[in-house]
A and B are shown apart, each in its own frame.
Chain A
Amino acid sequence: DTGVSQDPRHKITKRGQNVTFRCDPISEHNRLYWYRQTLGQGPEFLTYFQNEAQLEKSRLLSDRFSAERPKGSFSTLEIQRTEQGDSAMYLCASSLGSGALGNEQFFGPGTRLTVL
């Protein structure tokens, strides 16, 4: 078990371009979460999957954002028509979803997005 991985670690893009990030959770974890963290702030929840079903979405997740988890394993987060305000660290986390440790979320290293 190598933990939660995210790719890429850094992404620089021009305003108006689309970007896609990938998250690979811990293999047996059925819950997957996306958060966004800006400088000097705590992470803010974006969305959550249980297996392949997207069960919860924050109001922060505008219609330019879309997330998928097609086979209940890895997930992608796409941002269309990026804006400078999208610049942030995008964090992925996973959890087991059951038992005493079900609520414990394990975080990946994040993808830092810079929109020029």
Chain B
Amino acid sequence: GDSVTQMEGPVTLSEEAFLTINCTYTATGYPSLFWYVQYPGEGLQLLLKATKADDKGSNKGFEATYRKETTSFHLEKGSVQVSDSAVYFCALSDSGAGSYQLTFGKGTKLSVIP
């Protein structure tokens, strides 16, 4: 079945540091890939997505590129802020295989300190 593996946390960075959160996947079809973010006390929000190979999703300074050859979708940000402190989830949707559910990784907690 489909699965998502992402970097274990927690991750603690100083403000303005570079962020990478690794995500790899296995899927039977050709999935769409997502990063969701969960800020403290809030619900899941879509951060960015990519639907085909070599697509780059971007939002709020975050980027991730769909790499089919390495089955990866790593999240990056050049300069993190305290307000980026949250839990980040990598997810896939394999609708081409007839399933619309999202399959999530376990999440990576990011703490950014001033």
Contact = CB atoms under 8 A, between A and B. Distances in A.
A17 to B, nearest CB: 26
Contact of A40 (B32, B42, B103, B106): B106
A33 B99 CA distance: 12
Interface in B94-114: 95, 99-107
Contact of B99 (A56, A93, A107): A56
B103 A45 contact: yes
Nearest to A106: B46
Interface in B75-104: 89, 91, 93, 95, 99-104
Contacts of A95: 100
A61 B23 CA distance: 27
A84 B107 CA distance: 23
Contacts of B51: 103
Contacts of B89: 42-43
Contact of A41 (B44, B49, B95, B106): B106
Interface residues of A, number: 24
Contacts of A104: 46, 49
B43 interface: yes
Contact of A45 (B44, B102, B105, B107): B102
A107 B93 contact: no
A25 interface: no
Given A40-B106, A103-B93, A103-B95, A45 B101 contact: yes
A10 B46 CA distance: 23
